[in-house]
Amino acid sequence: MTLNISMKLQIRNINKKFNNNGHSIEALDNINMEISYGEFVCLVGPSGCGKSTLLNIIAGLSTPSQGRIIKQGQPGFMFQEPTLFPWLKVKDNVAFGLKNLHQEKTAIKEKVDHYLKMVHLSGFENAYPHELSGGMKQRTALARTLILDPPILLMDEPFAALDAQTREIMYTELQEIWRITKKTIVFVTHNVREAVCLGDRVLVFTARPGRIKKEFFINLPRPRDLGNLEVIKISNAIHEELKEEVEKFRQEMETHEKN
């Protein structure tokens, strides 16, 4: 998909209230963001501050109570759990969305091969999900999302369930895939160092109702790795901002338990 580089993903005055058994819960409070196409933005914030809710709203899976999203094309979504079809081989999981679009067989095979190569899964076309490691499952899920060539990729803690070594490999690979495909990525994580390692920008959310508390621009050369001293320094500064909000969340949980 070709996009005008000056166009932006715009998130305007988004507010979201949920109704929980007659109680109104405010999940998001007046969220505003402008994300350039090709930009990699990471969102960090305490549990329950509305990060997943915001991604769902951007994807169009949930409607905001107020505000609007201005975007080009349908975003691709990647979740914490790979959500693959267990009865389909890797290649058929990856091809799934294309088959729905009724594309020609040889064209599908070519694309599947291309994206499996991109996520370093060539040779596993005929494996079933239960035969894959956690990292391989997430690679399959990534290929399945990329094959539809969405301009925007929404990633909700996609590496949270992986072990530390696999995660580090995924950081390197995702940075490379992002460089090649030039996707706009909105990436949610609890891991601040992961956010600094990957993002052009890191946005810190407040405890619920989620608001943007602070924005950090990460002007470090790529590829970056977790052990980089600059990455660690910026991560520490972000941690300071986040600590206060996580503490608010903890206190709220305690108050709940007492009542």
Binding site for Mg ion (CB under 5 A): 52
Closest CA to 176 of 117, 123, 136: 117
Among 9, 14, 39, 53, the residue binding ligand ATP under the rule CB under 6 A is 53
Q: Which is nearer to ligand ATP, 75 or 129 (CB)?
A: 75
Under the binding rule (CB under 6 A), the answer on residue 18 touching ligand ATP is yes
Listed in sequence order, the residues at least 6 apart from 123 whose beta carbon sits closer than 8 Å to its beta carbon are none
Q: Which is nearer to ligand ATP, 57 or 198 (CB)?
A: 57
Among 14, 49, 195, 238, the residue binding ligand ATP under the rule CB under 6 A is 49
Closest CA to 14 of 51, 60, 70, 68: 68
Measured at the CA of 55, the angle between CA 79 and CA 214, to 5 degrees, comes to 115
Under the binding rule (CB under 6 A), the answer on residue 20 touching ligand ATP is yes
Q: Which is nearer to ligand ATP, 51 or 201 (CB)?
A: 51
Among 3, 7, 25, 88, the residue binding ligand ATP under the rule CB under 6 A is 25
What SS3 class is residue 1?
coil
Listed in sequence order, the residues at least 6 apart from 44 whose beta carbon sits closer than 8 Å to its beta carbon are 188, 189, 190, 192, 195, 202, 203, 204, 205, 238, 242
Among 9, 11, 14, 27, the residue binding ligand ATP under the rule CB under 6 A is 27
Under the binding rule (CB under 6 A), the answer on residue 52 touching ligand ATP is yes
Q: Which is nearer to ligand ATP, 98 or 246 (CB)?
A: 246
Q: Closest distance between ligand ATP and the C-beta of residue 18, in Å?
A: 3
Under the binding rule (CB under 6 A), the answer on residue 184 touching ligand ATP is no
**Residue 139: half-sphere exposure toward Cβ, Cα within 13 Å:** 26
Q: Closest distance between ligand ATP and the C-beta of residue 53, in Å?
A: 3
> How many residues are present in the chain?
259
Measured at the CA of 129, the angle between CA 85 and CA 190, to 5 degrees, comes to 85
The residues of the shown chain that bind ligand ATP, judged by CB under 6 A, are 18, 20, 25, 27, 45, 47-53, 208
